[in-house]
A = this chain, B = another copy of it.
Amino acid sequence: MADHDQDRIRSIQRSCTRFLRGHGPMPPAELLAALPDPIEPDSYGTGGVVAELEREVAAVLGKAGAVFLPSGTMAQQIALRVHSDRSGRRTVVLHPTSHPVLHEDGAAQRLHGLHLRPVGDSRRLLELADLEAVAELPAALLLELPQRELGGLLPDWDELGAQLSWAARRGAATHLDGARLWECTPHYQRSPAEICAGFDTVYVSFYKGLGGISGCCLAGEHDIIAEAREWRQRHGGTLFALWPYAASALAALRTRLPRMPDYLAHARAVAEALAGLDGVEVAPDPPVVPMLHLYLRGSPQTLREIALRRAQETGIWTWAGVAATDLPGRGVVELTVGDATMGFAPEEVREVIAGLLRG
């Protein structure tokens, strides 16, 4: 994208007064104002608000310990490396759309010598049969709950249990990519701790659904977390001061985790309101977490230009990017439901989407 196009987009976004997705743009001043006061600082990731967050997250996830890290990319590589070193195995079995496969440019291989083995089909959830087709004994099975690239899909609870049992039978560790774990609880009607119970290690993020500045935690048994702390240092993640992220994460966790049921209810109401609208298909329908993928009639490029023009006309920011799909003349967008979305009644969301489709 050319620089002037970036500038145009930024300028239109700035002129908007309402935002359809997530928690809206969250300017620094707003994020800083939400920090607890006073903040007890850490020293190289030890003590203070970092330790407080780690204790709280471990308790919420039902794990013995947790360590704060700057990013999920770092956290998950470290978890997988620890499982690999403990088993003497190098293969990680995971879905083709998992974050390490799509978004980390081979880091687990290049930095840790791990072999990522995607199994199953990128257009559907992993199934037990996909795992049973794997002959080698992997170091770990990585599962993502909910699965972002599939619009937040979740496996049935029993299917999840069967996949975890498969890993146990193979002597493989189980790791949960819980970047959006907080969003799962209303669908499963289970607490985060119940969902995490079957996993050896769990990564959770603080900036996506929760709306913190950045950062994440890795949780598990004490010995694994202690080993992860050593790797955090080697990765360059044990910063002199981690308190800005940890303080923001703690505030976000306490504010927004209780709102997840409301976000999901709203996502379902939005999906219902969109049901009769020609030119849009919702997936999954009904939503299982506060996230919808909307398949829109129109070319991605045309839809994008309409969205930018509508933003200028209405002051409502929707999308600056519409992804291509397998079907010609159909684009797809992700609608994450957060504080900003809650300001739109389902009928108003329908109106906004209808506006994009009208052109």
Please give the residue numbers on chain A whose beta carbons come within 8 Å of chain B beta carbons, in ascending order. Answer: 6, 27-29, 32, 35, 37-39, 41, 47, 69-75, 77, 104-107, 110-112, 207, 213-215, 230, 233-245, 247
Task: Say how far A104's CB is from chain B's closest CB, in angstroms.
Answer: 6
Between A29, A69, A71, the greatest number of chain B beta carbons within 10 A of the residue's beta carbon is seen for A71
Q: Once the chains are docked, how many angstroms separate the CA of A39 from the CA of B32? A: 11
Which residues of chain B are within 8 angstroms of A242 by Cβ–Cβ distance? 214
Q: Is the CB of A41 within 8 A of B70?
A: no
| Minimum CB–CB distance for A355 against chain B, Å | 26
**Bound complex: CA of A77 vs CA of B107, how far in Å?**
14
Q: How far is the CA of A233 from the CA of B39 in the complex (A)?
A: 29
CA distance A112 to B236 in the complex (A): 13
A-B contact pairs, 12 of them (CB 8 A): A6-B47, A69-B236, A71-B239, A71-B240, A73-B236, A74-B236, A105-B233, A106-B234, A214-B239, A235-B236, A236-B237, A244-B245
Q: Which of A28, A75, A213 has the most CB of B within 10 A?
A: A28
Is the Cβ of B247 less than 8 Å from the Cβ of A28? Answer: yes
Task: Quickly give the copy total for this chain.
Answer: 2
Whether A28 pairs with B38 at a CB distance below 8 angstroms is yes
For A111, A233, A247, the residue with the greatest tally of chain B CB atoms inside 10 Å of its CB is: A111
CB distance from A208 to the nearest CB of B (A): 8
Task: Please judge, given known A-B contacts A207-B240, A214-B239, A245-B244, whether A41 and B69 are in contact too, CB under 8 Å.
Answer: no
Asked if B28 and A104 make an inter-chain contact with CB atoms under 8 angstroms apart, the answer reads no
- Are B235 and A111 in contact, with the CB atoms below 8 A? yes
Contacts of A6 in B (CB 8 A): 47
CB-based contact B236/A75 at 8 Å = yes
A230 partner residues in chain B, CB cutoff 8 A: 105
Query: How far is A112 from B113 in the complex, measured between Cα atoms in Å?
Result: 10
Distance of A52 Cα from B66 Cα, bound (Å): 35
Q: How far apart are A82's CB and chain B's nearest CB, in angstroms?
A: 13
Contacts of A39 in B (CB 8 A): 28-29
- Do B236 and A71 touch (CB < 8 A)? yes
Give the complex CA separation of A218 and B114 in angstroms: 28
The smallest C-beta distance from A320 to any residue of chain B, in angstroms, reads 12
